[in-house]
Amino acid sequence: MKLFYSATSPYVRKVMACAMARGIEAQLEKIPTNPHESPAALVAANPLSKVPCLVTPDGFALFDSPVICEYLDTIGEALPLFPASGAARWVALQHQAIGDGILDAAVSRRMESVKPQEAARDAYMLRQKQIVERSLATLDRDLPGKLLDIGTIALGCALGYLDFRFADEAWRNNAPRLAAWFDGIATDRVFTETAPPG
């Protein structure tokens, strides 16, 4: 399988964490890619020119980290990351949605932060920051479990991204219980071995 990736993408990190949790990371041929340059190989596989993008052994391209993670969950013999049914499934999917939502807001805010300052941009960035803050407060009140599933992987990648790109904002002070939870799971190899460089 070929994986178009960027080492600093938290969405790629989520995919790699899932592959590691499944014990199949060696099956991924990582292709370093700058999606902002729209390289021909990436665009041929993914017209959205985004990473991650996974090309399966039969040549089928999958993109968007939830889709790729669910596909990877069908490979190998490890316990599933996507619970099959019941409350555990809905909790894992809810946590994945919150984790992805935090990433969407944080990545968008990061992209906007490098543009020239103006009132509309600042208002947009504030809205994204508030989305993250509300999500963190919700998770701090009702902590996730420690079972490694798609929800904890998504949340771990989201919190790791906040540490990577917004460390100066001290999200940990505002969500201390969640920070302690994250510190407890962050030692798992799916997070230590997928941490962004730097």
Kindly report, residue by residue over 13-47, the tens digit of the pLDDT: 999 999 999 999 999 999 999 998 999 999 999 99
pLDDT score, position 13: 97
CA distances from 171 to 52, 69, 129, 168, 191 (A): 26, 27, 11, 8, 19
Per-residue pLDDT at 5 exceeds 80: yes
Annotate 69-101 with b (16+ C-beta within 10 A) or e (fewer).
bbbbbeeeeeebbbbeeeeebebbbebbebbbb
Give me the mean pLDDT over the 44-54 stretch: 95
> What residues does 170 pair with on adjacent strands?
none
Residue 130 CB coordination number (10 Å): 11
- Look at residue 117 and tell me whether its pLDDT is greater than 90: no
Query: pLDDT at position 121, please?
Result: 85
Query: What SS3 state is found at 82?
Result: coil
Please, what are the domains in the chain?
Answer: 2-72 (3.40.30.10), 86-188 (1.20.1050.10)
**Rounded Cα–Cα distance for residues 35 and 88 (Å):** 35
Pairing of the two strands 29-32 and 2-5:
parallel
Q: Is the pTM of this model over 0.85?
A: yes
Is the confidence at residue 177, as pLDDT, over 90? yes
| Averaged pLDDT for residues 173-185 | 97
**pLDDT tens profile 83-99:** 999 999 999 999 999 99
Residue 119 has pLDDT above 90, yes or no: no
Q: What is the mean pLDDT of the chain?
A: 95
- Percent of the chain topping pLDDT 90: 88
Q: pLDDT-based confidence at 138, cuts 50/70/90?
A: very high
Higher pLDDT, 45 or 168: 45
